[in-house]
């Protein structure tokens, strides 16, 4: 007989629902969710994304409706990604400079409709605007240029802040861009605009459906391994995070989510900063696929994964399942 048994029975506290509720260490609420939304041109358009069943691209009127839905559900933030029309994509991603581009119009429309009831997070990177699908400017050998790209990103971020963005989220993985954007925001009088940096973003096979959604997938030549991180590396993620905090990020993101729980945990333990996980498109698609072949229950799979992010140390999670999760949490 073990020295502790039967003095200690771990099952005692699990025996009834009230007791399980009482002993729960981690809670998830709708305010832990960030809802990524895809914007497209037009009016009254809902364009389903084939590889993300249940997710659509919406024209700005639809995006405003989704934003109001987020407020009703208690979701504090939406994240915006534009599907730029093909004829506005170019080698240099010039459309990113236009203060009236799809993204900026969507930001203004949401802020007008929802004001301070909802935060708007905006993606900074060039892939929705480039004809080659890379997140930055490329040289003759298709190498993604760092400093030249950062200059464009600063302009893109400034336009988004001018349009009313509350959180600027650079997802490009260029070196030094957080500092450059922070300086531009300070100089531009946007002192309270936050930066949530995609600090540890991996060159992942889980981004496929997203690239479909923003229309960059078919265009992408090669891969993003010269700027996004090697999935084999963990110490390097801590260096990335340390730099972004020093450069002025208010919070950091780890992306993708589930396969990188160790990174989330290490970042939280080491730096104690707000950490967010991006449960990316491929992760969403896997849950939906499991549901559709009867391999698992979507709601249960989803909530288990979300609580794992909280347990690992996340302040919140970006997930396409945000409205589904919020409804479940709201009962």
Ligand X SMILES: NCc1[nH]cc(CCC(=O)O)c1CC(=O)O
Residues that bind Mg ion (CB under 5 A): 240
Q: Do residues 319 and 284 lie in contact, with contact meaning Cβ atoms separated by under 8 Å? A: yes
User: 135 or 288: whose CB is closer to ligand X?
Assistant: 135
In the structure encoding, which two tokens stand for residue 147, read together?
A: 């400093």
Residues that bind ligand X (CB under 6 A): 123, 125, 127, 135, 171, 207, 210-211, 224, 280-281
Cα 281 from Cα 261, distance rounded (Å): 17
Nearer to Mg ion, 95 or 240 (CB): 240
Residues 257, 283 contacting (CB under 8 angstroms): yes
**Partner whose binding site includes residue 33, from Mg ion, ligand X, none (CB under 5 to 8 Å by kind):** none
Would residue 19 be called left, alpha or beta, if left means φ above 0 and alpha means ψ between -120 and 50 degrees?
A: alpha
Residue 199 structure tokens = 């600090």
Say which entry of Mg ion, ligand X, none residue 310 contacts (CB below 5 to 8 A, set by partner kind): none
Closest CB to ligand X among 113 and 259? 259
Pick one of ligand X, Mg ion, none as the site partner of residue 120 (Cβ within 5 to 8 A by kind).
Answer: none
Q: Considering the complex, what minimum distance in angstroms separates the CB of residue 240 from Mg ion? A: 4
Residue 246 or 295: the one with the smaller Cβ distance to Mg ion is: 246
Q: How far is the CB of 238 from ligand X (least distance, A)?
A: 21
250 binds, among Mg ion, ligand X, none (CB under 5 to 8 A by kind): none
Q: How many CA atoms lie within 13 A of 288 on its CB side?
A: 17
Structure tokens at 56: 């659509």
Distance of alpha carbon 129 from alpha carbon 91, whole angstroms:
8
Question: Tokens 């399980």, residue?
Answer: 20
Compute the least distance from the CB of residue 9 to ligand X, in Å.
Answer: 43
- Of all residues in the shown chain, the one whose CB is closest to ligand X is 210
Residues 6+ away with beta carbon under 8 Å from 219: 89, 130, 131, 132, 133
Minimum Å distance from CB 258 to Mg ion? 22
Q: How far is the CB of 5 from ligand X (least distance, A)?
A: 46
CB closer to ligand X out of 193 and 210: 210
> Catalytic positions, please?
201, 255
Cα-atom radius of gyration of the chain, to the nearest Å?
Answer: 20
Query: From the list ligand X, Mg ion, none, which binds 211 (C-beta under 5 to 8 Å, kind-based)?
Result: ligand X
């Amino acid at each position: 007989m073990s020295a502790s048994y039967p003095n200690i029975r771990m099952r005692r506290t699990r025996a009834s629902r009230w007791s399980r509720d009482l002993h729960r260490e981690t809670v998830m609420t709708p305010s832990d969710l960030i809802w990524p939304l895809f914007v497209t041109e037009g009016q009254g358009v809902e364009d389903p994304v084939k590889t993300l069943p249940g997710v659509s691209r919406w024209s700005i009127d639809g995006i405003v409706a989704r934003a109001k839905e987020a407020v009703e559900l208690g979701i504090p933030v939406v994240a915006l990604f534009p599907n730029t029309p093909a004829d506005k994509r170019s080698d240099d991603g010039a459309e990113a400079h236009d203060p009236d581009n799809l993204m900026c119009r969507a930001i203004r429309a949401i802020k007008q409709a929802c004001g301070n009831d909802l935060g708007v997070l905006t993606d900074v990177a060039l892939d929705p605007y480039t004809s080659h699908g890379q997140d930055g400017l490329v040289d003759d050998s298709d190498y993604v240029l760092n400093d030249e790209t950062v200059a464009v990103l600063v302009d893109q971020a400034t336009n988004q802040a001018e349009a009313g963005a509350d959180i600027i989220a650079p997802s490009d993985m260029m070196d030094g861009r957080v500092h450059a954007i922070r300086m531009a925001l300070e100089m531009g009088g946007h002192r309270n605009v936050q930066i949530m940096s995609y600090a540890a973003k991996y060159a992942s096979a889980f981004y496929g459906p997203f690239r479909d959604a923003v229309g960059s997938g078919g265009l992408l030549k090669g891969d993003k391994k010269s700027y996004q991180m090697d999935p084999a590396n963990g110490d390097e993620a801590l260096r990335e995070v340390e730099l972004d905090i020093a450069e002025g990020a208010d919070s950091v993101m780890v992306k993708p989510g589930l396969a990188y729980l160790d990174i989330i945990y290490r970042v939280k333990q080491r730096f104690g900063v707000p950490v967010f996980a991006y449960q990316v498109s491929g992760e969403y698609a896997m849950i939906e696929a499991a549901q559709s072949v009867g391999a698992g229950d979507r709601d249960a799979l989803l909530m288990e994964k979300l609580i794992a992010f909280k347990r690992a140390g996340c302040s919140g999670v970006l997930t396409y399942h945000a409205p589904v999760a919020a409804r479940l949490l709201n009962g």
